Amino acid sequence: MKLVIAAALAVGLLVPSTSVAQTTKLNIGYPPANDFLPAFVAKDQGFFDKRGLDVTMTPQRVVSNIPVALSSGALDIGALPPTVILGARDGGLDLVAIAGISRQSREHPTISLLVNKSSTIRTASDLQGKKVGVPGLYGGIDLMLRMWLMEKKVPLTAVTFVELPFPAMAETLGRQQVDAVATIEPTRSRIMATGNAYKVSDYVGDLTDDVCLITWGTTRAWATNHRDTIARFLAALAEAQTFMSAHPEQAVAIETKFLGFAGPTATFSPKLNPSDFLFYANGMRSIGLLKQNVDFSTLIYR
């Protein structure tokens, strides 16, 4: 389990780990993936509680539901890919990232394009005329797949993309209701473990060596009014990552408790730079999804 915790620990120094007088309720939204293991651990081990945070972890079938839930107040903090934050800003919704959650690296890939074992699909060009399941239309996993197809000179109009929640991917692919799925750990490992799948590509590695996959985000208005809450939230996550490093077997058990299964983990990191947003923005512009100029530094709440 590769952990990148220095930045998060620095945040942790800002907030004492002893109990605080005020209790703050937080509703946290996330899709079913193990990128959110630090939050699961913080909830399970009481790291949120001791910082006065009464946290409810609320699963979301697809990440595209989270912006609306944040803007309505149904969620306080949610898992937001950089693409979703960019798209929301382009549409007039002022969402911000408060910290990175995980990163994708060429050395530690967690995203793959999978097909049924009986499929003849082996290259990007073989996807022409096919249907591909993605966890969220125009989310990070989907966008990077489209960027990969364009790099391989495959017309996007030749491929049909359908939104498919992670829990449904294995069965839907097995029944050949889609021709391929773009997925991430631990769903990737679960599908491969069936023996009925073939990995076509860890396609993100063809695009970039290292990039933020997903962030913890919220509305700018909520962040402005809850600076102390955010600091306590991030400090609890930092302590959770320290715990995960010292107790990997317990971390796996907690992952299984929250997700129902476990698999190879992401590269957990709070690191987040404007260049992460630039990578996704270039891809979004290439397919006409981003129309306005954006100051990427304003997308990260400081």
Task: Note the pLDDT of residue 61.
Answer: 85
Q: How much is the pTM?
A: 0.83
For 199-222, what is the mean pLDDT? 96
Per the structure block, which two tokens stand in for 223? 């962040």
Inform me whether the pLDDT recorded for 173 exceeds 90: yes
Give residue-wise pLDDT tens across range 103-112: 999 999 999 9
Task: Note the pLDDT of residue 21.
Answer: 53
Task: Note the pLDDT of residue 262.
Answer: 85
Task: Note the pLDDT of residue 229.
Answer: 97
- Which range has the worst mean pLDDT, 10-14, 201-205, 247-251? 10-14
Domains of the chain, CATH where assigned: 6-106+210-299 (3.40.190.10), 111-206 (3.40.190.10)
Q: How far apart are CA 108 and CA 114, in angstroms?
A: 17
Give residue-wise pLDDT tens across range 31-83: 988 899 999 999 999 999 999 999 999 999 888 889 999 999 999 999 999 99
- Computed over every residue of the chain, the mean pLDDT equals 91
Q: How far apart are CA 231 and CA 152, in angstroms?
A: 43
Which parts of the chain fold into alpha helices (H)?
6-12, 37-44, 66-72, 82-90, 140-151, 166-174, 187-193, 220-225, 227-246, 248-259, 274-286
